[in-house]
Amino acid sequence: MPVLGLGVFQMPAPDTRRIIAMALEEGYRSIDTAPAYRNEAAVGRAVRDSGIERSELFITTKLGNRSHGRSKGLAAFEESMEQLGLEYLDLYLIHWPVPALGLYVETWELLIELRESGRVREIGVSNFLPEHLARIIEATGVAPVLNQIELHPGFPQAASRAFHAEHGIVTESWSPLAQADARLLADPVLTGAAAAHNKTPAQVILRWHLQLGAVVIPKASSRARLAENIDVFDFELTSTEMAAIEEISAPGRLGWDPATFVLPPGVPPL
């Protein structure tokens, strides 16, 4: 799996094909989508139109919160595959554990079956806390290959990263740039490191993720930003810079808390 890919959350379907085409031209080979993003079909079309061998691309999608349980989950998987128009998935994730439903273990068992069928190469989860991970590992003996969580300076998720490392689970960061939070991008720790390495604060943040050992999937919609985000492999932050970035206190969590998250009425089916 490439350590840096493109996330397409909140990317309108009409723009998705064009942006993915630019991303692939800039060297991206990993695309992360989900049914809730309402652009799976556009992702699949962009992949098929790219002319790039399917084996060179890494495509991730997710099982949504209204599709927990074996029967609903299988139907959701088939719908995603139809939308994507692909023969197999590189990675399939449970989008949120939604512990109030009490179905994420059963849903994880379905993902194990899908991997065994060969239609999914690897399986993982998203937004799982250590207690959720421990439960599915204990119930099935199978650890997710990856957990995609909100992670950025100001919300470094040290406990989750430690649990992942202990159990051989890859950490993947969503909102790695904290949704371009102005407070974060102006933080003197980041601006100072950016000046020292002749990079932007956003590039410093992405480099911090990579040196933590995390996979990152920043969203971008312009060629300039796509090129900037992937241009982070020619410098290295010092241990002092890494530690200082980890100590940044703002902005904190920006998304829902997985421990209490339930899908309220009117919210898209994430």
Strand, coil or helix: 27: coil
**Known active-site residue 37:** yes
CA distance 179 to 7: 12
- Name the residue with tokens 């009490």: 102
Catalytic residue among 37, 88, 92, 104, which?
Answer: 37
Written as one string, the DSSP assignment of 200-225 is -HHHHHHHHHHHHT-EE-----SHHH
Give the N- to C-terminal CA distance of the chain in Å, as an integer: 23
Given a contact cutoff of 8 angstroms between Cβ atoms, the answer to whether 146 and 124 are in contact is: yes
Q: How many CB atoms lie within 10 A of CB 74?
A: 15
Written as one string, the DSSP assignment of 219-244 is ---SHHHHHHHH--SS----HHHHHH
Given a contact cutoff of 8 angstroms between Cβ atoms, the answer to whether 122 and 169 are in contact is: no
Strand, coil or helix: 126: strand
Nearest to 131 by CA among 154, 107, 159: 159
Residues labelled catalytic:
37
